[in-house]
Structure 1
Amino acid sequence: MSVLGRSSLAATRAPMAAAWRRTASKSKAATSSSSSVTSSSCFSTSSAARKPPTGVLLMNMGGPSTLDEVGDFLSRLFHDRDLIQLPFQSTLAPLIAKRRTPKIVEQYDKIGGGSPILRWTRSQGAAMAKMLDELHPSTAPHKAYTAFRYARPLTGEALDEMRADGVERAVAFTQYPQYSCSTTGSSLNELFREIQRRKAADSGAPEANIQWSVIDRWPTHPGLVQAFTNRLQAALNTYPAEERHKVPIMFSAHSLPMQIVSGRGDPYPAEVAATVAAVMTKLGWSNPYRVTWQSQVGPSAWLGPQTSDTVKGWAKQGYKDLVVVPIAFTQDHIETLYELDIELHEEAEEHGIRLKRAESLNDEPTFLRALADITAAHLDSLALTGPGSSSSSSSSSTVGPHVWAQGNTSRQMQLRCPGCVNPVCGEQKRFFADNTMGVGEDALR
């Protein structure tokens, strides 16, 4: 059972000057293979000397890279009040983390001794930045940074690296395609709090005065949909042609407690469903399918049906083959490599089901291009200002507009959940929207 699932029980103007476009488009990405917390460099030394990079901050939950990091990872997770609210949390969180650490260490040991999510995030970021330099030279060079919520590199470490690189403008790019307050919302709240902490400590701190915008969701982006379709079609193609359209498909996503969905009004289930519908449309609705939810823990009501229960139910109905698609994850990590590849496969075998999993997106070429396209379209949608910018310049991006590129944030992000009681959410939404919120309570201020 996933770490995030367990934790949820324990109670998301003009482009820059054209003068440097020609030099930026010639810069070459230099991807570091180091396992340290410093992100891969995606801009050349000569370009960096002339102009700081446009930062693209890839935000995700993260995972421990080694077994020794599991305890700290769990402790940070259980301290996160955006995710879990416990009585006496500062006291209980480290105790819960300590108790759970041995079992979670065993799980990470079974998938190779740690999570590969940092490695995949860095390689995806390096590929994205290299393509982005060509797609959107007016804001080049670009550099990808990683900010994990519970594992290193943490948000503060990413801001330290941005300061060292002299970053003045950055895009916070969630790596959760579908928005949830418990994932993207928590990461943005932490980024907002860290920026405010640094402003309070030193109002002139460069990293505290970066001009930010946010890619807060992208559930139906054509590149994402095509990448998922490619992975799924490859799995279906392993069956004989006369049989493959009969194989049921499970689109599995991390579940949420119903109190978050029904009580708070979290948009996550609807956005997962939107991704699934887009993929099935690409497939021509060729196969029977269901959206299922993994990682439920405990007796309280969660989104269902559960992925494991679906396997058992279909086995009773006589199905012998099944394909599972991790539809809410863009990299391999414990929920794919352990929950699906080990736990779910064992359950399927016990019930006479031959289970196949569609490969995670990871290094899928269409997906890597999608990351660059999404960022380029977002940059095109911004009203940028800053040193060296020119209001008469026009973007040389080859990427057309996309429905989710709506300025500093999407309009969806500007609307708080109807059951939200966290004041930080409203503050960070106004901050990242650059005080241009145009919907809800903030449109009246």
Structure 2
Amino acid sequence: MSVLKSIGRKYATLNARPWSKSPTGIVLLNMGGPSTIPEVHDFLRRLFSDKDLIPLPFQSLLAPLIARRRTPQIEQQYTDIGGGSPILKYTKYQGTKMAELLDELSPDTAPHKAYVGFRYAQPLVEEVMKEMKEDGVKRAVAFTQYPQYSCSTTGSSLNEVYRRGVKGEAGDVKWSVIDRWGTHEGFIEALAQNIEAALAKFPPTTPRSQITLLFSAHSLPMSVVNRGDPYILEVSSTVAAVMARLGHKNPYRLVWQSQVGPSAWMGMQTSDAIKGLARLGKKDVVVVPVAFTSDHIETLYELDLEYGKEAHELGMTMIRSESLNESPVFIRALADLASKHLKAVTASEKEGEAEYTSVQLGLRCPGCTNETCGKQKEWFAKGGQPEAS
């Protein structure tokens, strides 16, 4: 952390206003979470209203009803983890430190300013657009904080940036996209180090090869999976890379959490896997949040409190590997991703064949019927300029 602090002091003036030139905006996109209890209802209403995330029949009618019905329960869950989600705190920290490193790694595009753009909680993308316009941003990177791509997560956030950006809400900004990075070596290293730290918490008498690693990721409705969404494959690729880094010394499984509603979702569910392992006599487990970049309700409540209680009652020793939160290894990975992206975009522009998005982003799911998704991909591929008025 001392290295990050020294870099922060060295480059503090580069990230403070006023700048000598407009900053390059690095927009960190995520679903977000309510920072306070009073924000819970609006968060749920926005979440259940998003057809990209949770497709529902009669969505405009059902979403407000579901949000209202679930608010008391979810408010209690946020109360139980301290009164709100810490995702904004950690995303701001990660973004600030990333921007400081990025000024050093990519001086040609400095200064850089990190913006947090949440889909369902404050600060919303629409607010970020206004701030960018006030700052005079002319170049921005839509940088998903979902390591593995899904149309329901990264796709939904990019759709929102497109809807706002095409109307010029951020001003005359040229956009590019970092849309997935689930096998980046820095991300894999950060996950692996946290797993190794969790394994070290077991007594020396516990054979390390007998400790099961349960990689837990947010599940998806099978309706999304079956239209060709790449998320399942990409999470699996992350797990494979982590296990290779760890030397395949532990048995492991990839499981799925956070199912909502009665429709079919990807399984098996994390809770069912814990019960199954207990039944099989596998009582020593490390749970790894593999698709999250910081703590929030899915880790602090669902994994720690809900599943932790289940494991304890089953006589298991279950330790969760820490989330990435303030990991300097992870923050450097973010800076490396952004630096290489900016350099690649600049080089492609100089060659007269500008590439603002990855090849993979340009491919719609074979079963996609969302016209906004298609328009969004075309818009970003051209640099995301506002429509002429």
Fold similarity call, TM over 0.5: yes
Residue 26 of structure 1 deviates from its aligned partner by 10
Aligned length, in residue pairs? 374
- 1:418 and 2:370 aligned: no
Gaps of 5+ in 1: 1-24, 31-41, 200-204, 393-405, 437-445
Gaps of 5+ in 2: 1-7, 385-389
- 1:130 and 2:100 aligned: yes
| Structure 1 residue aligned with 2:37 | 67
Aligned-partner Cα distance in 2 for 1:154–1:44: 22
- 1:175 and 2:145 aligned: yes
| Structure 2 residue aligned with 1:339 | 302
User: Percent identity at matched positions?
Assistant: 59
- Deviation per CA, 1:242-275, whole angstroms, max 9, x where unpaired? 612210000000111222112x110000000000
Aligned-partner Cα distance in 1 for 2:359–2:273: 35
| Structure 1 residue aligned with 2:387 | none
Tell me which of 190, 207, 218 is aligned to 1:243. 207
Contact 1:177 1:219 in 2 (8 A): yes
- 1:210 and 2:182 aligned: no
- Deviation per CA, 1:311-348, whole angstroms, max 9, x where unpaired? 11111111221100000000000000000000000110
| Structure 2 residue aligned with 1:284 | 247
1:100-115 alignment to 2 at 5 Å?
A: 100-115=70-85
Residue 96 of structure 1 deviates from its aligned partner by 1.7
| Structure 2 residue aligned with 1:275 | 238
| Structure 1 residue aligned with 2:12 | 29
Contact 2:174 2:383 in 1 (8 A): no
Tell me which of 130, 133, 146 is aligned to 1:163. 133
Counterparts in 2 of 1:26 and 1:137: CA distance versus 1, 3 Å: farther
- 1:255 and 2:219 aligned: yes
Letter in 1 for 2:345: L
Letter in 1 for 2:277: W
Residue 82 of structure 1 deviates from its aligned partner by 1.9
- 1:43 and 2:15 aligned: yes
Aligned-partner Cα distance in 2 for 1:166–1:352: 58
Counterparts in 2 of 1:330 and 1:26: CA distance versus 1, 3 Å: closer
Counterparts in 2 of 1:242 and 1:96: CA distance versus 1, 3 Å: closer
**Following superposition, which runs of at least 4 residues in structure 1 exceed 4 angstroms of deviation?**
none
Counterparts in 2 of 1:275 and 1:385: CA distance versus 1, 3 Å: closer
Letter in 2 for 1:56: I
Letter in 2 for 1:256: L
Aligned-partner Cα distance in 2 for 1:339–1:242: 26
- 1:191 and 2:161 aligned: yes
Aligned-partner Cα distance in 1 for 2:205–2:343: 43
- 1:154 and 2:124 aligned: yes
Equivalent position SS for 1:382: helix
Residue 28 of structure 1 deviates from its aligned partner by 2.3
Counterparts in 2 of 1:115 and 1:383: CA distance versus 1, 3 Å: same
Aligned-partner Cα distance in 2 for 1:28–1:210: 24
Contact 1:29 1:129 in 2 (8 A): no
Contact 1:27 1:141 in 2 (8 A): no
CA RMSD of aligned residues (A): 2.1
Letter in 2 for 1:430: E
Aligned-partner Cα distance in 1 for 2:181–2:162: 21
Aligned-partner Cα distance in 1 for 2:289–2:315: 21
Give the alignment's TM-score, normalised by structure 2: 0.92
| Structure 2 residue aligned with 1:121 | 91
| Structure 2 residue aligned with 1:6 | none
Tell me which of 114, 118, 121 is aligned to 1:144. 114
- Deviation per CA, 1:51-77, whole angstroms, max 9, x where unpaired? 000000000000000000001111111
Give the alignment's TM-score, normalised by structure 1: 0.81
Equivalent position SS for 1:172: strand
Equivalent position SS for 2:47: helix
| Structure 2 residue aligned with 1:85 | 55
